Amino acid sequence: MDHSKHDLDQLRSEGDINLSPRRQAWAAGHLDEATQKILARDAEVFLHQSLSTPCLNVMQACQGSYIEDNRGRRLLDFHGNNVHQLGFSHPRVVEAITEQMNRLSFCTRRYTNEVAIELASKLVSLAPGDLNRVLFAPSGTAAIGMALKLARAATGRHKTISMWDSFHGASLDAISVGGEAIFRQGIGPLLPGCEHVPPPDNRHCPFKCGHACNLACADYVEYVLEKEGDVAAVVAETVRCTPFIPPLDYWKRIRQACDRHGALLILDEIPHCLGRTGRMFTCEHYDVVPDMLVIGKGLGGGIFPLAGLLAREGLNQAMPEKALGHYTHEKNPVACAAGLAAIEVIESEGLLEQATAMGVYARKRMEAMATRHDLIGDIRGLGLLMGMELLKDRASCQRAVDEAEQVMYACLSRGLNFKVTMGNILTLTPPITITRQEMEEAMDRLEEAIAEVSGGVQSGR
């Protein structure tokens, strides 16, 4: 299939596109014959799809802040699919999983087990407000599906409002509320009643707010709620993991609008729950309590797939005679042991404070880079959920798509791994266990790559 550069530029997504000719050129210059053969075998047996197969490289190990490729090259991992809040293979999580496998490896349907109850109870004790009910699932996408079903049952409505450019998973129901073209285009009919509105992104705001944001995007959500009149839920990421960081009053205004129009508020925190932003739950930064909170990724301790739906107490009676999740691994004791150990590590090692402090340091380093390199258009972040937007021109906010790709591959060559989102945002999500020395090394490598792509030309500001 032929994909022009223009086509790839339009497929802005939560990850970097593997169809890019630059990826093929990088692989040819950096991967040895043995690695190329393994990648060829992978491509022969897995279905090809954007963002994964054909793959970038071959991994053989992961530990702490590092991944290791097939040739033994170690890379600081600022990607990690957002599962590695604790880094990779944290010994306390590995120990908890091992012990649980030896004690009770599986829990069949219609039975429960103590470790699942302990994890659910722990989450309830940490969650804000009256988010007192929990249901586990094997993936964040599945948890989103459960939230959508619960919203329908609780309200008697089926419509949703969600954001363009959002990502809630890759299943048919999740892409129906999601807003990325690369998942939606050409798929055919999606769920009915899925309305979309502009996201709170002041850098590329259709309401032309710029940095003096007047929350017109929040008012537009209420406008649609009023005009539709029968919306079941507003479904959105508290903070877009690219990241986009909404203004502080944004979610309070959305919460009030939902209450006025009888809609539920479902917040998706799958990529950044449990510490990445410096709080256990990202909505705590905004002092709002959603009706449902969806979590995942880091919940499994960076090892086991696990997600969860936290719901208000009042929603418990919405489906007494219906099955909401009913997943085979709903109360998997091994997964729950991993989740419980992960939370214990976050609390005992002071990782919320660590994420906040290290995020401040990293952003200061990147802001200093922005004074030296015109290519850097914006620095944004919350804790260790960070992004650097590259722009050809700051005044017009023209995206530097090709340059972002060049920087990513230049960093890979220097031992720093991250992904590019929306075509031009370097998304940087290291473990919250990262050391100061590791962060300094990562920032040094990043600036070296930016200087290389910029031709060594620095700003005079």
pTM of the model: 0.94
Q: Where residue 394 falls among pLDDT bands split at 50, 70, 90?
A: confident
Tell whether the model's pLDDT for residue 3 goes beyond 60: no
Query: What pLDDT was estimated at residue 141?
Result: 97
Cis before 246? omega within 30: no
Same domain for 182 and 80: no
Same domain for 78 and 153: no
Whether residue 460 lies inside any domain: the answer is no
Nearest C-alpha neighbor of 221 from the set 245, 200, 190: 200
Which of 348, 378, 393 is the endpoint of a domain?
348
**138 contacts: CB under 8 Å, gap ≥ 6:** 305, 306, 307, 327, 328, 329, 332, 335
Same domain for 186 and 117: yes
Give the amino acid at 339. G
How far is the CA of 257 from the CAs of 156, 212, 213, 268, 291, in angstroms? 19, 22, 18, 18, 13
Tell whether the model's pLDDT for residue 100 goes beyond 70: yes
Query: What pLDDT was estimated at residue 77?
Result: 98
- As a whole number of Å, the CA-based R_g of the chain is 22
Same domain for 84 and 106: no
Query: What pLDDT was estimated at residue 287?
Result: 97
* Average pLDDT of the chain, as a whole number: 93
N-to-C CA span, the chain: 44
Same domain for 100 and 74: no
Q: Where residue 256 falls among pLDDT bands split at 50, 70, 90?
A: very high
Q: CB–CB of 404/426 below 8 Å?
A: yes
Q: Where residue 460 falls among pLDDT bands split at 50, 70, 90?
A: very low
Among 5-14, 102-111, 217-226, 232-241, the minimum mean pLDDT is found in 5-14
Query: What pLDDT was estimated at residue 458?
Result: 52
Same domain for 204 and 139: yes
Whether residue 406 lies inside any domain: the answer is yes
Query: What pLDDT was estimated at residue 7?
Result: 52
Same domain for 367 and 226: no
Alpha-carbon distance 233 to 293, whole Å?
12
In the block, tokens 């990690």 appear at: 80
Alpha-carbon distance 82 to 296, whole Å?
9
Same domain for 266 and 225: yes
Alpha-carbon distance 303 to 326, whole Å?
23
Query: What pLDDT was estimated at residue 4?
Result: 45
Tell whether the model's pLDDT for residue 255 goes beyond 80: yes
Query: What pLDDT was estimated at residue 191?
Result: 96
Would you tell me how many other CB atoms lie within 10 Å of the CB of residue 5?
12
Whether residue 458 lies inside any domain: the answer is no
Structural domain total, the chain: 2
Whether residue 461 lies inside any domain: the answer is no
How far is the CA of 12 from the CAs of 123, 134, 201, 421, in angstroms? 34, 34, 15, 7
CA atoms within 13 A on the CB side of 191: 22
Query: In the predicted model, what is the mean pLDDT of residues 53-61?
Result: 95
Q: Where residue 461 falls among pLDDT bands split at 50, 70, 90?
A: very low
Query: In the predicted model, what is the mean pLDDT of residues 386-415?
Result: 93
Which of 316, 348, 380 is the endpoint of a domain?
348
Q: What is the CATH number of the domain that holds 30?
A: 3.90.1150.10
Whether residue 427 lies inside any domain: the answer is yes
Tell whether the model's pLDDT for residue 10 goes beyond 60: no
Query: What pLDDT was estimated at residue 157?
Result: 97
Query: In the predicted model, what is the mean pLDDT of residues 40-54?
Result: 93
Same domain for 120 and 75: no
Query: What pLDDT was estimated at residue 325?
Result: 87
Query: What pLDDT was estimated at residue 139?
Result: 97
Alpha-carbon distance 339 to 329, whole Å?
14
Whether residue 459 lies inside any domain: the answer is no
Cα 345–chain centre separation: 21
Q: What is the CATH number of the domain that holds 160?
A: 3.40.640.10
Which of 330, 348, 366 is the endpoint of a domain?
348
Tell whether the model's pLDDT for residue 288 goes beyond 60: yes
Tell whether the model's pLDDT for residue 15 goes beyond 90: no
Whether residue 81 lies inside any domain: the answer is yes
Q: CB–CB of 414/454 below 8 Å?
A: no
Alpha-carbon distance 73 to 61, whole Å?
10
Query: In the predicted model, what is the mean pLDDT of residues 371-394?
Result: 95
Query: What pLDDT was estimated at residue 346?
Result: 98
Nearest C-alpha neighbor of 57 from the set 87, 17, 24: 24
SS3 of residue 390 by DSSP: strand
Query: What pLDDT was estimated at residue 190?
Result: 96
Same domain for 111 and 96: yes
Report the percentage of the chain scoring pLDDT > 90: 82
Query: In the predicted model, what is the mean pLDDT of residues 311-336?
Result: 92
Same domain for 171 and 69: no
Whether residue 33 lies inside any domain: the answer is yes
In the block, tokens 């203004």 appear at: 247
Same domain for 445 and 410: yes
How far is the CA of 395 from the CAs of 22, 204, 208, 211, 392, in angstroms? 28, 12, 13, 12, 9
In the block, tokens 């109360």 appear at: 331
Nearest C-alpha neighbor of 81 from the set 244, 240, 271, 269: 271
Its domain, for residue 278, covers: 91-348
